[in-house]
Amino acid sequence: MSTSTSLPGAVQAGAPLLDPQGGIPNSPASRPGRTPDGKGHALTRTTRYKLGNVLVTLILSLGAVVMLGPLIWTFSTSLKTHDAIFALPPQWIPDPVVWENYLRVWSAGPLLSGIRNSLIVAGTVTVIGSLTSSIAAFAFAKMRMPFKNAVFLMLLAGLMIPFPTIMIPQFMVFAEIGWVDTLLPLIVPGLFGNIIMIFFLKQYLENVPDSIIEAAKLDGASYLQIFSRLIFPAIRPAMAAQFILWFMAVWNDYLAPIIYLNTPEKQTLQLVIASFNAQYASQTDYPLIMAASFIALLPVLIVFIIFQRQIIESVALTGGKG
Amino acid sequence: MSTTVLRTKPRRSRLHRREQQIALLFIAIPLIGFLLFTLYPLLYSVYASFTSWNGLAAPKFNGLDNYIKMWNDPYFLKSMWNTLFLMIGIPIGLVLSMALALGLNRKMRGITFFRTVYYVPVISSIAAIAIMWQWAYNGDFGLVNQVLDLVGIQGPNWLADKDTVKPALIIMATWKGLGYSMLLYLAALQSVPRYLYEAAALDGAGTWQQFRNITLPMVRPVTFFLVVTSIIGGSQIFIEINIMTPLGGPEFSSASIVWYIWRQAFNNLHMGYASAMSIVLGLIIFIVTVIQFRLNRRNQFSID
């Protein structure tokens, strides 16, 4: 038994390269013309491919366990009593299951205000920032302006500047106008738009024919009208995906919040769970920490599961363009 | 005839000018944002790097002192080395994600499910992930050592040992980033024209030869993109360090350069010195990116 699976397995290591592209195993009709070896060989190929699939599925399943294991372990820990986390052998299914940690966690630290602050920051930045980005993308893609491309390239080049290189002067400026320990330094820069989003919307708009816009202009539509009636509906799908990705990035941000926010009630969710971690680890209250972390994971996880197709497609696009 | 030309010409140019003005207005917002929140701080950083500055009093010019100090600062050198060391994870991640993408590029059931599962760590908050893994790396009761125990290995106290803290961070980073590179590779694999493989098979090329001579060159843009973005991202590693080893790890063995900059700037108020280090970081990223683009361009020519 073991030899019969390991033999195709050895071939399989490189095999997927040929087969999925050619789709050969699924179309035996087209085979005889292509493989001169004849029928018998064709049959082995199909079986071999199927056995390869079994083996690949096994490996991928093992990988899936590794990927999900820590997350499941987190959830499992969050449902344990304090004693159960030190049980040997470890309990995968908590005994007893205590949901109490999820009640305790709200009064153990400013979790609720953390969620609210994260929502305020991520919501404001992405909603207004997407609007400014899309208007700019429209101008970059469809309007005539001298030095347009030079300006665009300059903005793109700005992406190469790492945040740590500019964070110190940025902090000093915001400190001077008294914005430290408020959410403003996290919100205001984002309102001016996001060059990555502008880039993708601009690419997307290249496919919209100029003639539509010219026609609208002849009809006397203003540029703002063209944007809101023609452009905005056209780029909505591309925008939605970029919006979600941006929202998740702001939601998960950590370095900027840790610089600006000191008061616990003013911190974003990521900082709140980090200070949960620092505070309760010394008391080994891991169930509480894990409950807080799991709550912090949940919103993005839900968004991902709902929009996974759009997210995955637009991410796959990112690499193709880059 | 001539009157119509005279009449339309100024009208058109007036329309053009109006279009230009509105376009300028539309792109003004991101442009102002760039000038205010990127370019100005960048220039100020460059200036501050030549000063002694505690953030309270005005910066005092001190020439190249910060840069000379850096060269003799063992903590700076150590954190640079640590950051570089942690990038070992990049090639490991690329090879693994390529293998995964090859597996997912087969005609079989469950592809969508696996794709989603492998992507979950990518979208998860790195802060929460770091907290989870810190607990998973716990020497006595952590998940990692429990699993190792099943196969009879006594695991170390990962984050408290200077020899294991970096591998621990690399494993975690690879785990988190795997789904992203896998997804990009998968998209690239799916866009390789199948006739290339058919032609190669007819010429008698084996699977390994096909992989080397067709697949790898065809996904090169993705590899390039991933290498560049991973280096840019990897050189700024901070959150994991800050959460998992708040004091820079045993014997400073997990302190990254951004962690050290952050600490110098906001804990010790050495703003001038931290600015100088941040400029060095920015320069390194810039140079590496330019080299990458150069290499990539040259390779593309050789393929064509």
Structure confidence by residue, pLDDT tens digits, B53-84: 988 888 999 989 999 999 999 999 999 999 99
Would you say residue A87 lies in a domain?
Answer: no
Enclosing domain of residue A40: 2-78
Cβ-based contacts of B235 with chain A (< 8 Å)? 162
Closest-CA distance, A170 to chain B, in angstroms, reads 6
Tally of structural domains, chain A? 2
Given A169, A276, A305, which is nearest B45 (Cβ)?
A169
Kindly state whether residues A113 and A221 are assigned to the same domain: yes
Give residues with Cβ within 8 angstroms of B96, minimum separation 6.
B174, B178
Question: From the CA atom positions of chain A, what is the Rg in Å?
Answer: 27
Tell me if B56 sits within 8 A of B269, measured CB to CB.
yes
Kindly state whether residues A267 and A134 are assigned to the same domain: yes
Kindly state whether residues A303 and A245 are assigned to the same domain: yes
Q: How many CA atoms lie within 13 A of B195 on its CB side?
A: 0
Nearest C-alpha in B relative to A144:
B20
Residues facing B52 on adjacent strands? B60
At residue A283, the pLDDT reads: 78
Would you say residue A243 lies in a domain?
Answer: yes
Cβ-based contacts of B120 with chain A (< 8 Å)? 67-68, 71, 301, 304
- From the number of C-beta atoms within 10 Å of its C-beta (0-12, 13-18, 19+), residue B65 rates as middle
Picking from A310, A289, A164, the residue whose alpha carbon sits closest to that of residue A243 is: A310
CB contact under 8 A, B128 and A193: no
Helix-helix angle B165-190:B220-234, to 10 degrees:
150
Kindly state whether residues A176 and A309 are assigned to the same domain: yes
- In angstroms, the CA A179 to CA A249 distance is 22
Would you say residue A83 lies in a domain?
Answer: no
Q: Which residue has the tokens 């290498």?
A: B227
Nearest C-alpha in A relative to B214:
A17
CB contact under 8 A, A68 and B117: yes
Residues in chain B, overall count: 304
CB contact under 8 A, A192 and B29: yes
Kindly state whether residues A73 and A110 are assigned to the same domain: no
Would you say residue A91 lies in a domain?
Answer: no
Kindly state whether residues A206 and A270 are assigned to the same domain: yes
Kindly state whether residues A67 and A121 are assigned to the same domain: no
CB contact under 8 A, A86 and B243: no
Kindly state whether residues A259 and A304 are assigned to the same domain: yes
pLDDT tens, chain A, 322 aa long: 333 333 333 333 333 333 444 444 444 444 444 444 444 455 677 888 888 888 889 999 999 999 998 899 889 888 988 878 877 777 778 778 888 889 888 988 899 999 999 999 999 999 999 999 999 999 999 888 888 899 999 999 898 899 999 999 999 999 999 999 999 999 999 999 999 999 999 988 888 888 888 888 888 888 888 988 888 888 888 888 889 889 989 999 999 999 999 999 999 999 999 998 888 877 778 889 999 999 999 888 898 888 888 888 888 776 554 4
Kindly state whether residues A110 and A197 are assigned to the same domain: yes
Would you say residue A86 lies in a domain?
Answer: no
Kindly state whether residues A188 and A221 are assigned to the same domain: yes
Last residue of a domain, one of A78, A94, A116: A78
- In angstroms, the CA B257 to CA B279 distance is 12
Would you say residue A15 lies in a domain?
Answer: yes
CB contact under 8 A, B229 and A56: no
ipTM of the complex: 0.86
Kindly state whether residues A45 and A109 are assigned to the same domain: no
Average pLDDT over residues B244-249: 89
Would you say residue A94 lies in a domain?
Answer: no
Given A22, A89, A173, which is nearest B198 (Cβ)?
A22
Closest-CA distance, A78 to chain B, in angstroms, reads 11
At residue B300, the pLDDT reads: 59
Would you say residue A93 lies in a domain?
Answer: no
Kindly state whether residues A157 and A291 are assigned to the same domain: yes
